[in-house]
Structure 1
Amino acid sequence: MRVSELRDAKPLLLTDAGDVWDRLAEGFTAHARDFGRYLHRPITQQGIWGGVAAESAADRLARMQRDLNVAKQELDGVGTVLRACGEELATHQVRLREAVADATEAGYKVADDGAVTAPTVDVKNLAPGDVAMMNRDHAAHAQEYAGRIGDALSAAQAADKEYAAAIKLFTDAAKRCAKGDWSAGLLELATANGLNSELLSELGMPQKGASPAAVQAWWAGLSPSLQAELIHDYPQQIGNRDGIPAADRDRANRTYLPLLLSSLEADYAGAVGDEATVLKDKIEGVKGIQQQLDRGREPRPYLLGMGSEGNGRAIVSFGNPDSSKNVSAYVPGLNTKLSGHFASSDVDRAWNVAHTANKMYPDTTTASIVWLGYDAPQLDGFKWSATDVMREGDAKAGAPAYDSFLNGIRATHESGSPHVTAIGHSYGSLTVGQATQQPGGIPADDVVLVGSPGVGVDKASDLGVGTGHVYVGAAENDQVTNLPTSNPLEYVAPGSEYGPKKNWFGTDPADNHFGGHHFSVAPGKDTGLAGLATGDLPAHSIYFDPIEGGDSLNNIASVVAGHGDKIQNAAPR
């Protein structure tokens, strides 16, 4: 590749072409969704059609719908490759132009093959030693400029070859589909995703596992125009990365949200049974979050995370955590998943905390977050033993992600020193407890535990923030806070002056042996052990309710706003 070829190229035409292919893919998404809704699903419903002809038609329609989804994936892949190619070539083009400009301004000449020659200098009045030194300097600079130019040309040529090969995969796939073979093109789709990740690496994005501080430093070093391009082209990766500022994560996730919804709806169009139920929950959750974003409440919502992995992921903040003096991050627990219920109930809990804290303490600013960044255990009716609610696995798996998120809050905060409160409700309190045991401890100033079945430690002092910074709320009739251990005697005779009361995951945080501050909560409706067995637990859901919870919400808001001394104290158990 020659200097003029890369210098005069128009790589952004490739990114524009990628956008066109994306719009074409969106059209196929709509076709697949309508196909399932108006053709395939009606014909498979019992009582409408029957017999061999109906079964044959349903099978044929299912295969046609699958083909539409494959076509959509292939078109997505083409758009991905074209955009990635254009952006990488544009990056190398900028490197080339900067190197040529630096050489030219210094008086060096750049040939079209990349060779660099030093400027001609009148040396008749220079001493021989000075001439020799000057020639060495000129040769070194010429070599430096030539190296920069050569690196840019070589990288662009390698990228051109790599992307041409990727496009050929899709060309071959199109020929295959034209012959009637609509099997999913896993090779070309994997190649497209790989190129996507490679481009972010080319731009220096820290690898997975890097600290949020390293991610923040990388992001801050990019130009605003490049940041905007990455938000547009890689919304999922940017929107879900700890260390990216909240406003940028919000823009990225708002871009990604309709794409995620389209993908879920396309999958749902051909799904049946449990798979369809799971997808329906996620679709309702995404739509519910979009409604929360559109409600216009204050403080305004920021969408800091969104994904379909596991039971679904969503992180919503009311108020900007990068500019607010106080930031809380609430981890929900038992039965929480990305669903319509989460998008209304759990997201509203975060708003209640922010609204109440800002109302009670108008001299400061508070942002409140609901963090669904892990798979909470699901209670399946009477099948307690068949769920993960009795085990620590989900909490231990979620703890590092929560710890990273809180570190990201500190890394991107404008002052670098927000007052951070970690809030754990139900099984989420165990996740918070496990996060406190991560290397370096939890990056929080205060810990609030409500409706807790235990947090995996014996005493408040074990949480690493100081006993005086641990706050516990437990409704009298919340059976989850009385979750029996494997030893029934510890439940029948819960605690005494000789030792602490034990819950399933360790010492009951509401027990006087645990330590910390205990704040008042309304007792809640008593459904007894039957409620624990059936999941009828109204007292377990009152902690963030401004009416049903009594003083609970005001107490939580006081701690979050940095006024833990203002809580309404309650006697421990």
Structure 2
Amino acid sequence: MSKHLTVSQVLDWRPDTLTAQATDWDRQANELRSRLEVQSRAVDDSHDTWKRTSGDAMRARFAQINEKALKTVGALEKGRDAANTASQNFTTAILLVRSTKMSAEGKGLRVMPEGTCEIKEETKQLIYSTVNGDAERYSTAISALQVDADSHTSYVKYALSLAADADNQAVTTINAAFADLPTVESFGNGSPTVKPEPKKPPENGTPEENRKYWDALTPEEKAQMISTQPAAIGSLDGIPVDARDQANRNLIQIEKDRIQTALDSGDPSKMVNPKTGQWESPDTLTKKLADLKAVEQAVKPEDGKPPRKLMLLDMQSGTQGRAAIAVGDPDTADHISVTTPGLGTNLRESLGSMVGEADTLKTESERQLRAAGSDDTVSTIAWIGYDPPQKTYSDLDIANVMLQGRAEEAAPSLAKFYEGLDTASTQNDPHITALGHSYGSVTQSLALQEGGHAVDDAVFYGSPGLGGHALTTTPPWVEGTPIGPLNDKVHSAEDLGLQDHHVYEMTEKGDPVANLNRFGQSPNALPWVTHLSTDEITVDGQTYTGASGHAEYPRTDNTTQHLHRSGYNLAAIVAGLPDNATNPQHR
């Protein structure tokens, strides 16, 4: 379910256009080199006719220009070689996709745009006719053909993956060829020119629009935007994670200085949020400083730990600081997860532990992948990109946990974040899993209902519901009756933009929230949701204990120092190994 390469897109590629571009760059390089050689001979001959200081100055000036011009020649030649290589790789990719497609079609299969191979209806009818309607023989034949379909799906998707690699390599090598071109100003000719400001990002752009904007900037313009407009770039879904990370790290000190200056002034007029125009109390500003300190600590490199990427930092949109941190590189990972938390979560008190849980989840997911013989990589993201209701009574914020308002406000941003991961990925079809705990599962559900198609799997745990038409707790006498489901907004995986059997839920023993039915029915009461056991289990000699209560799902057991069964399940779904969670004894 990716917005990346499809079968028809690859088959429509024109490698000859790359070959033509390579030829043109070669022509330009040869012409420029020839002209430089002519000028070099003329300058060398000037030693006898133009002497003294002025002649020496002319020759020194030419040497400078010649050196820069030769860099341009080198860039053109590198571009030529990169384009020729890309043309060859594209040709190979086209042949591979075409051959796997034809092979599947020869088996009576229909090849879908993203590479999935399905049995044609007419093929089913032909088989039914061939076996004279015998149900057992028909079932056997269809089962055998489905095995073929699954095999051909893997072949076509592998071919698409290689095509995506060729595409990414072409972009990388061609950009690299021209990355160090000397600027016009560096030649020192004519009057100094004023550098124009880089074009600003699209307002409320989609991840794809954001990516097109970013790719159109020169390396110099990108560096300028990261330096001068970090808030705009750091929150731009769809662009490379390294750019977002660098911009957001730049933003930390800027925001610390802004908030500290407001506090030091003691002037209420300087405590106005520059984005919302709302006055912020000294207590709110102090908490936001603590939020920033927590972010700084969470993104610090640690020996033996995967890198942390600061994908979001926003101290102005809400009453709380907002951030998202990835453990590992989501742009290159085969599997990506995004965890959305609930009641009481904030940066200063929760971010550190959430990032630690993300690190443990990544480790366990990759352990299960290695046990399955896969070298796939995983990136896990802690997303606190909204204002979860807080456990505070003085401002009555805790009352918001009984309302959908905060979740509804956050859903569009979270949905765009999901889509941005898909757009920024260098993988053709990254496997993305949405995870949501408690009130965060309501936010997650509403985000999935926004209509995106980036997410492949969803796990709701400790969930009070997936969204209701009316906000009400279902009375016990209504549960299990035809009246109960009437409040549900979500009636199938399709309502969440997912395929059947790709929606999961977990309910620990003694978790009262998971049975509230506050926002529609809790997912543990929905028959179309796959229910994952949280009972203790031993796999590969390792015991994953059961837990109890509302908060332990992703945490480590203090006695065994390993994840609970619920954490093992999360890792299995994130790794794309659902059988490990639904049927762990199969191993």
* TM-score calculated relative to the size of structure 1: 0.56
Distance apart, 1:266 and its partner CA: 2.5
- What one-letter code is carried by the residue in structure 1 that aligns with 2:574? V
- Structure 1 SS opposite 2:338: strand
Aligned partner (choices 215, 224, 249) of residue 229 of structure 1: 224
Q: 1: CA distance between counterparts of 2:437 and 2:257?
A: 32
Q: 1: CA distance between counterparts of 2:396 and 2:572?
A: 35
Q: Which residue of 2 aligns with 1:563?
A: 577
The correspondence of residues 422-571 of structure 1 with structure 2, limited to 5 A, is 422-438=434-450, 440-456=451-467, 457-461=489-493, 462-483=495-516, 503-511=517-525, 513-520=527-534, 524-525=547-548, 539-547=549-557, 550-568=564-582
- What one-letter code is carried by the residue in structure 2 that aligns with 1:348? G
User: Is the deviation greater in 549-558 or in 290-299?
Assistant: 290-299
Aligned partner (choices 286, 289, 313) of residue 322 of structure 2: 313
Q: Which residue of 1 aligns with 2:213?
A: 218
Distance apart, 1:269 and its partner CA: 3.3
Q: Which residue of 1 aligns with 2:369?
A: 361
Deviation track 1:388-413 (CA, whole Å, cap 9, x = no partner) reads 11111111111110111111111111
Deviation track 1:267-306 (CA, whole Å, cap 9, x = no partner) reads 3335699823322322222112212222415221000111
- What one-letter code is carried by the residue in structure 2 that aligns with 1:464? G
- Structure 1 SS opposite 2:305: coil
Q: 2: CA distance between counterparts of 1:209 and 1:416?
A: 25
- What one-letter code is carried by the residue in structure 2 that aligns with 1:390? M
Task: Confirm or deny: 8 A CA contact 2:504 2:531 kept in the other structure.
Answer: yes
User: Is the deviation greater in 230-239 or in 453-462?
Assistant: 453-462
Deviation track 1:491-534 (CA, whole Å, cap 9, x = no partner) reads xxxxxxxxxxxx00011111253522423266645xxxxxxxxx
Task: Confirm or deny: 8 A CA contact 1:205 1:215 kept in the other structure.
Answer: no
Distance apart, 1:314 and its partner CA: 0.4
Q: Given the alignment of the two structures, is residue 300 of structure 1 paired with residue 307 of structure 2, yes or no?
A: yes
CA 1:390/1:338 → structure 2, altered by over 3 Å: closer, same or farther?
same
Q: Given the alignment of the two structures, is residue 291 of structure 1 paired with residue 291 of structure 2, yes or no?
A: no
The correspondence of residues 99-114 of structure 1 with structure 2, limited to 5 A, is none
Task: Confirm or deny: 8 A CA contact 1:410 1:417 kept in the other structure.
Answer: yes
- What one-letter code is carried by the residue in structure 2 that aligns with 1:216? R
- What one-letter code is carried by the residue in structure 1 that aligns with 2:296? Q
- Structure 1 SS opposite 2:550: helix
Deviation track 1:99-156 (CA, whole Å, cap 9, x = no partner) reads xx9xxxxxxxx9x9xxxxxxxxxxxxxxxxxxxxxxxxxxxxxxxxxxxxxxx99xx7
The correspondence of residues 5-20 of structure 1 with structure 2, limited to 5 A, is none
Aligned partner (choices 398, 406, 420) of residue 408 of structure 1: 420
Q: Which residue of 2 aligns with 1:69?
A: none
Q: 2: CA distance between counterparts of 1:509 and 1:220?
A: 41
Q: 2: CA distance between counterparts of 1:416 and 1:206?
A: 25
The correspondence of residues 44-193 of structure 1 with structure 2, limited to 5 A, is none
Task: Confirm or deny: 8 A CA contact 1:239 1:253 kept in the other structure.
Answer: yes
CA 1:441/1:417 → structure 2, altered by over 3 Å: closer, same or farther?
same
Distance apart, 1:481 and its partner CA: 1.3
Q: Structure 1 stretches of 5 or more lacking a match?
A: 1-93, 102-109, 113-151, 160-198, 484-502, 526-538
Aligned partner (choices 320, 335, 347) of residue 326 of structure 1: 335
Task: Confirm or deny: 8 A CA contact 1:459 1:515 kept in the other structure.
Answer: no
Q: 1: CA distance between counterparts of 2:426 and 2:241?
A: 11
CA 1:295/1:361 → structure 2, altered by over 3 Å: closer, same or farther?
same
Distance apart, 1:463 and its partner CA: 2.0
Q: Which residue of 2 aligns with 1:393?
A: 405
Task: Confirm or deny: 8 A CA contact 2:198 2:225 kept in the other structure.
Answer: no
Distance apart, 1:343 and its partner CA: 2.4
Q: 2: CA distance between counterparts of 1:343 and 1:436?
A: 23
Counting helix residues as a fraction of each chain, which structure ranks higher? 1
Distance apart, 1:472 and its partner CA: 0.7
Q: 2: CA distance between counterparts of 1:346 and 1:270?
A: 34
- Structure 2 SS opposite 1:417: coil
Q: 2: CA distance between counterparts of 1:316 and 1:421?
A: 16
Distance apart, 1:431 and its partner CA: 0.8
- Structure 1 SS opposite 2:345: coil
The correspondence of residues 337-376 of structure 1 with structure 2, limited to 5 A, is 337-339=346-348, 341-362=349-370, 363-376=375-388
- What one-letter code is carried by the residue in structure 2 that aligns with 1:445? D
- The alignment yields a C-alpha RMSD, in angstroms, of 3.2
Q: Which residue of 2 aligns with 1:490?
A: none
Q: Which residue of 2 aligns with 1:281?
A: 287
Q: 1: CA distance between counterparts of 2:376 and 2:455?
A: 18
- What one-letter code is carried by the residue in structure 2 that aligns with 1:400? P
Q: 1: CA distance between counterparts of 2:525 and 2:253?
A: 46
- What one-letter code is carried by the residue in structure 1 that aligns with 2:423? A
Task: Confirm or deny: 8 A CA contact 1:384 1:390 kept in the other structure.
Answer: no
CA 1:383/1:516 → structure 2, altered by over 3 Å: closer, same or farther?
farther
Task: Confirm or deny: 8 A CA contact 2:202 2:209 kept in the other structure.
Answer: no
Deviation track 1:202-241 (CA, whole Å, cap 9, x = no partner) reads 6333422221111111211222222112111111111111
Q: Structure 2 stretches of 5 or more lacking a match?
A: 1-181, 272-279, 468-488, 536-544
User: Is the deviation greater in 375-384 or in 466-475?
Assistant: 375-384
Task: Confirm or deny: 8 A CA contact 2:532 2:569 kept in the other structure.
Answer: no
* TM-score calculated relative to the size of structure 2: 0.55
CA 1:442/1:402 → structure 2, altered by over 3 Å: closer, same or farther?
farther
Q: 2: CA distance between counterparts of 1:222 and 1:441?
A: 27
Q: Which residue of 1 aligns with 2:254?
A: 259
Distance apart, 1:95 and its partner CA: 12
CA 1:266/1:519 → structure 2, altered by over 3 Å: closer, same or farther?
farther
- What one-letter code is carried by the residue in structure 2 that aligns with 1:245? P
- Structure 2 SS opposite 1:567: helix
